[in-house]
Chains A and B, each alone.
Chain A
């Protein structure tokens, strides 16, 4: 089972700050990298699915980049808002199943 790591484990930022976090995964046999947003008491919801090296995806103030050769992806949030508070999960596809990292818990204070 491949190892998907996320850092930091948690992050506290002020409203308006920009922030980013990292997902690391094995670069061999790469198929796809998923990012999910998980709010407290809700279910995870997909943000991005990325497959190509150098891929960049954007949804509003959130964007992600992918480097498959070195095995990492960054998630960026520009001008964080309290409603961005959530756990952000990345997951890497391994042959026929999706393996999740432990997540980065983001708290944005007003």
Chain B
């Protein structure tokens, strides 16, 4: 199993550009989520999904869109990038929406918005 994969690893955008961060998992996990990591802030939840076709907002959803058309994929879209979105983005998955299931994280995408 590849686990949780993310592409790209690095990306530089100009303010106003749009892009999609890709996330995929091959563990048949129902639950997937996106976090951003900023210095001194830990991991903050952006959006999450409890299954295909269902998404919901986390702590910091503004400026981001998500969709979940398949169990495997959970892309994160930045519609109009802003410098405040410079961050490291982690995708995570776990078996199902159950507090006892640990999360598996992807390798991260480092995004810089100039």
State the A residues within 8 Å of B (CB).
1, 31-32, 34, 36, 42-46, 49, 51, 89, 91, 93, 96-103
- A83→B49 CA distance, assembly (Å): 34
Are A44 and B42 closer than 8 Å at their CB atoms? no
Given A44-B105, A45-B105, verify A101-B42 contact (CB < 8 Å). yes
Does B45 lie within 8 Å of A97, measured CB to CB?
A: yes
Complex Cα spacing A32 to B101, Å:
9
A49 to chain B minimum Cβ distance, whole angstroms, is: 5
* Contact call B42/A46, Cβ cutoff below 8 A: no
A100-B105 Cα distance, complex, nearest whole Å: 14
CB pair A49–B101 under 8 Å, yes or no, is yes
**Complex: A1 Cα to B44 Cα, angstroms:** 11
| Distance A46 CA – B100 CA, assembled complex (angstroms) | 11
Q: How far is the CA of A49 from the CA of B35 in the complex (A)?
A: 19
